[in-house]
Structure 1
Amino acid sequence: MRHAILGAGGVGLALGAALTRGGHDVTLVMRESTRARYSGVIDVHSRLRGDHSVKARAVDRLDEPVDVLWVTVKAPALEAALARIAPSSAPGAVVPLLNGLDHPRLLRARFGTRQVVGAIRVEAERTGPGRVTWNSLFAEVGLAEDADPGGTAVTSLAQALAESGIGCVHEPDAASVLWRKLVLLLPLALATTAADGPLGVVRRQAGLLTLLHGAAREACAVAAADAVAVDDRNLVHTLDKLPGRTDTSLHRDVAAGVRPTELAALTEPVLRRAREHHVPVPAIAELARRAAERERQAETPAPHGSTYSNGETS
Structure 2
Amino acid sequence: MRHAILGAGGVGLALGAALSRGGHDVTLVMRESTRARYSGVVDVRSKLRGDHRVAVRAVDRLVESPDVLWVTVKAPALDAALARTDPALLPGAVVPLLNGLDHPGPLRARFGPRQIVGAIRIEAERTGPGQVTWNSLFAEVVLAADEGFTARPGSPTPDLIAEALADAGIGCATAPDPAGVLWHKLVLLLPLALATTAADGPLGIVRRRPELLALLHDAAREICALAATEDVTVDAPHLLHTLDKLPGRTDTSLHRDVTAGARPTELAALTEPVLRRARDRALPLPAIAELTRRAAERELRADTPAPQ
Question: How would you bin the TM-score normalised by the shorter chain?
Answer: over 0.9
The answer to whether the Cα contact below 8 Å between 1:143 and 1:174 also exists between their aligned partners in 2 is: yes
Counterpart secondary structure, 1:267: helix
| Long gaps (5+) in structure 1 | 302-314
After superposing on structure 2, the runs of 4+ consecutive aligned residues of structure 1 that deviate more than 6 Å are none
Map of 1:28-177 to 2, 5 A cutoff? 28-148=28-148, 153-177=157-181
**What does the per-residue CA deviation read over 1:175-197, in whole Å, with 9 as the maximum and x for residues that have no partner?**
01100000000000000000001
2:278 aligned with 1:286: no
Cα distance, 1:139 vs. partner? Answer: 0.6
Cα distance, 1:277 vs. partner? Answer: 2.2
* Equivalenced residues, count: 301
Residue 249 of structure 2 corresponds to which residue in structure 1? Answer: 245
**What does the per-residue CA deviation read over 1:188-219, in whole Å, with 9 as the maximum and x for residues that have no partner?**
00000000011111111000000001111111
Counterpart secondary structure, 1:141: strand
Q: CA RMSD in A?
A: 1.3
| Long gaps (5+) in structure 2 | none
Cα separation, 2, equivalents of 1:161 and 1:147? 22
Residue 274 of structure 1 corresponds to which residue in structure 2? Answer: 278
Cα distance, 1:169 vs. partner? Answer: 1.7
Counterpart secondary structure, 1:226: coil
For 1:32, the aligned partner's letter is E
Tell which deviates more after alignment, 99-108 or 148-157. Answer: 148-157
**What does the per-residue CA deviation read over 1:64-101, in whole Å, with 9 as the maximum and x for residues that have no partner?**
12100000001001001101111343210001110000
The answer to whether the Cα contact below 8 Å between 2:74 and 2:98 also exists between their aligned partners in 1 is: yes
Residue 14 of structure 2 corresponds to which residue in structure 1? Answer: 14
Cα distance, 1:281 vs. partner? Answer: 1.0
The answer to whether the Cα contact below 8 Å between 1:255 and 1:299 also exists between their aligned partners in 2 is: no
Cα separation, 2, equivalents of 1:11 and 1:256? 18
2:195 corresponds, among 163, 173, 191, to 191
**What does the per-residue CA deviation read over 1:36-72, in whole Å, with 9 as the maximum and x for residues that have no partner?**
1111001111111111110000000001121000000
The answer to whether the Cα contact below 8 Å between 2:116 and 2:149 also exists between their aligned partners in 1 is: no
Cα separation, 1, equivalents of 2:139 and 2:221? 25
Cα separation, 2, equivalents of 1:249 and 1:107? 23
The answer to whether the Cα contact below 8 Å between 1:143 and 1:171 also exists between their aligned partners in 2 is: yes
Cα distance, 1:150 vs. partner? Answer: 7.2
